């Protein structure tokens, strides 16, 4: 049976002018600008190819000969690999070496990065690892905090607070970059709010429209994010300086922040939280813009609605308040962890490309995500959410295996740049499918009162996966270049199993309360028959329409 709120939505319109304007601002423009701000620190932290700075050439020999004289190297066949952190202390007498006091950087693609400006290389390379890892841990903490905050105090409040923090953090890192601790603090402040900005905006979009539009809204949001991610590296390619780049890619979000106070509070959240009067006010505001009206009968039912109170005291712990719900949550968390570990390892690897333009590599891969978002929606609606996720992780396990053995292969043709590009594009495509499925399932597995907490705890484990990524990538240097690929292969196989154990949400009667969520996926779960697709939406509730 549909709720009073669902009937109210059908009366005021689920895809009217108000929803379209809201989605344009918060599901298209905001993701473009936020993605640039969220990702801009990754290319800014790239460690450029480097060697010790050579003394002045006093022998009038070639630059290559002078470098061979002073820099330790390893020769394999005709290939020479120079040491990046050592220089011969007295090359005329012996081969004893010492650490670099100054460095020469390869400026083919970048004039400056944070690491090249601050010499955070060699023994200070872990500074970069710490920034990336600690930022992801902070995302973890922020996701939990703001997930609880969004379900307790509202989507709008959480959205404004996180926007302020994100912009403030980038300004701190930019203005106080001379201090590692202050620079790190700025990165952590931005990361604390990272996941929750788009999470709140997207939830408001889906909670003022029909649930059947969730896949479409998710596809548009991800596609908009891809556009922002594709534009961002081109800006760096153009300006080449990391400070200018950070200013250009953060500035537009500051403009959006000035207007963020106008964002609507989710009336569905108000309805489930017992704020009935505010809910009616918001619904009438939407109806006025859409040129519709809210009936007196529906208004009265909303005002007399008694909210579910059991979830507020538990907060995110409510996600583990029953065996079935806890199992569904844990299985999803495995997928969140693996897909983000894969995504972050790949993204960090792009900036270190030597045989290809790193900016174009980044752009092509971001653009490849756009059509995949719509492919993901098609797969999710035709073979199911669960099967789509399992397929994605299956492809990831295969590609990571190929990448692992490509890294260690002695065959020259295997290292041709376009082979690596193709593998990376395939990898990015199916990471995108897994992202899409995880987000849609999180929206469908949990009721309104727990939806933000469900997405938040997913983001927590996504941050864990991202925090592990720099260490996974680092293992490939001192130990074995195949290790990152093999580790991610094993993680992807684990994700296949966990995804297949999740309940299918396509065509299922989705939970509307925490009690229904605690039993969702048990044996005997009800599915709507296929012929329901032919029935008018006026004869079925919005929830049932989505179930189709």
Helix (H) or strand (E) segment spanning residue 520: none
3 state SS of 507: coil
Given pLDDT bands bounded at 50, 70 and 90, which one contains residue 458?
confident
pLDDT at residue 310 tops 90: no
The whole model's pTM is what? 0.72
pLDDT confidence of residue 129:
83
Report the SS3 class of residue 254.
Answer: helix
**In contact, 39 and 235? CB cutoff 8 Å:** no
Cα–Cα distance, 151 to 203 (Å, whole number): 11
Looking at residue 532, its pLDDT comes to 37
**Token duo for residue 201:** 């905006």
485-510 mean pLDDT: 86
Q: What is the pLDDT of residues 165-186, one digit of tens each?
A: 999 999 999 988 788 999 999 9
527 strand-pairing partners: 508
Q: Which of 121-135, 230-244, 402-416 has the highest mean pLDDT?
A: 230-244
Question: Which residues are CB-neighbours of 161 under 8 A, at least 6 positions away?
Answer: 146, 149, 193
User: What average pLDDT score do residues 71-99 get?
Assistant: 82
Res 266 pLDDT > 70? yes
pLDDT at 541: 38
Q: What domains are there in the chain, each with its CATH number?
A: 4-47+117-534 (1.20.1250.20), 50-105 (no CATH)
Read off the pLDDT band of 187 (50, 70, 90).
Answer: very high
In sequence order, the 6+-apart residues with CB closer than 8 A to the CB of 308 are 272, 449, 513, 514
Which tens digit of pLDDT belongs to each residue from 111-127? 999 999 999 988 888 89
In the numeric block, which tokens belong to residue 244? 């200018």
Total count of residues recorded for the chain:
548
Which structure tokens are listed for 274? 């017992």
429 in Cβ contact with 370 (< 8 Å): no
For the cut 60, the answer to whether the pLDDT of residue 354 exceeds it is no
Q: Is the dihedral of CA 430, 433, 438, 441 positive or negative?
A: negative
Q: Quick one: average pLDDT of 37-61? A: 87
Q: Which two tokens stand for residue 467?
A: 């925090």
Whether the per-residue pLDDT at 202 is higher than 80: the answer is yes
∠ Cα 390 444 379 (to 5°): 40
Q: Is the pLDDT of residue 449 over 70?
A: no
User: Which tops the pLDDT comparison, 402 or 59?
Assistant: 402
Helices (H), 291-322: 296-303, 310-314
Helix (H/G/I), strand (E/B), else coil: 40: coil
- pLDDT at site 457: 74
């Amino acid at each position: 049976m549909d709720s009073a709120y669902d009937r109210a939505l059908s009366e005021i319109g689920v895809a009217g002018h108000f929803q379209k304007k809201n989605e344009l601002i918060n599901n298209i423009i905001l993701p473009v600008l936020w993605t640039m701000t969220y990702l801009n620190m990754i290319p800014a932290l790239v460690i450029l190819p480097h060697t010790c700075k050579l003394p002045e050439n006093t022998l009038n020999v070639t630059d290559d000969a002078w470098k061979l004289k002073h820099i330790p190297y390893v020769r394999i066949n005709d290939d020479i690999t120079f040491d990046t952190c050592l220089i011969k202390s007295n090359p005329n007498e012996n081969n004893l070496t010492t650490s670099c006091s100054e460095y020469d950087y390869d400026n083919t693609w970048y004039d400056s990065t944070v690491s090249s400006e601050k010499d955070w290389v060699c023994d200070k390379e872990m500074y970069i690892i710490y920034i990336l890892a600690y930022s992801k841990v902070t995302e973890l903490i922020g996701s939990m905090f703001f997930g609880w905050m969004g379900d307790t105090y509202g989507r709008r409040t959480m959205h404004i607070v996180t926007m302020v923090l994100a912009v403030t953090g980038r300004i701190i890192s930019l203005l106080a970059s001379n201090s590692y601790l202050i620079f790190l603090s700025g990165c952590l402040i931005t990361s604390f709010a990272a996941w929750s900005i788009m999470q709140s905006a997207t939830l408001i979009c889906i909670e003022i429209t029909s649930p059947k539009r969730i896949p479409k809204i998710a596809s548009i949001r991800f596609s908009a994010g891809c556009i922002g991610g594709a534009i961002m590296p081109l800006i760096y390619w153009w300006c080449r300086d990391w400070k200018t780049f950070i200013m250009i890619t953060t500035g537009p979000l500051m403009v959006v922040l000035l207007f963020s106070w106008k964002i609507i509070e989710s009336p569905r959240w108000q309805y489930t939280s017992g704020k009935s009067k505010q809910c009616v006010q918001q619904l009438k505001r939407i109806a006025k813009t859409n040129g519709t009206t809210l009936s007196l009968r529906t208004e009265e039912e909303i005002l007399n609605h008694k909210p579910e109170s059991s979830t507020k005291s538990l907060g995110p712990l409510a996600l583990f308040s029953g065996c079935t719900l806890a199992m569904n949550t844990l299985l999803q968390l495995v997928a969140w962890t693996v897909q983000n570990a894969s995504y972050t390892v790949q993204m960090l690897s792009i900036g270190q490309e030597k045989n290809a333009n790193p900016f174009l590599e980044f752009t092509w891969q971001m653009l490849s995500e756009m059509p995949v978002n719509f492919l993901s929606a098609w797969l999710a609606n035709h073979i199911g959410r669960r099967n789509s996720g399992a397929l994605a992780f299956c492809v990831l396990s295969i590609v990571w295996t190929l990448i692992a053995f490509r890294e260690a292969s002695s065959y020259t043709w295997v290292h041709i740049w376009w082979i690596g590009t193709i593998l990376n594009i395939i990898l990015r495509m199916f990471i995108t499918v897994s992202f899409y499925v995880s987000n849609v399932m999180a929206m469908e597995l949990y009721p309104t009162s727990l939806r933000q907490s469900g997405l938040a705890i997913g983001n927590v484990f996504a941050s864990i996966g991202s925090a592990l990524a720099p260490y996974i990538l680092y293992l490939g240097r001192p130990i074995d270049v195949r290790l990152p690929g093999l580790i991610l292969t094993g993680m992807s196989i684990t994700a296949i199993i966990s995804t297949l154990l999740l309940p299918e949400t396509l065509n299922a009667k989705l939970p509307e309360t925490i009690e229904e969520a605690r039993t969702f996926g048990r044996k005997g779960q009800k599915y709507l028959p296929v012929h329901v697709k032919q029935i008018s939406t006026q004869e079925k509730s919005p929830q049932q329409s989505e179930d189709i």
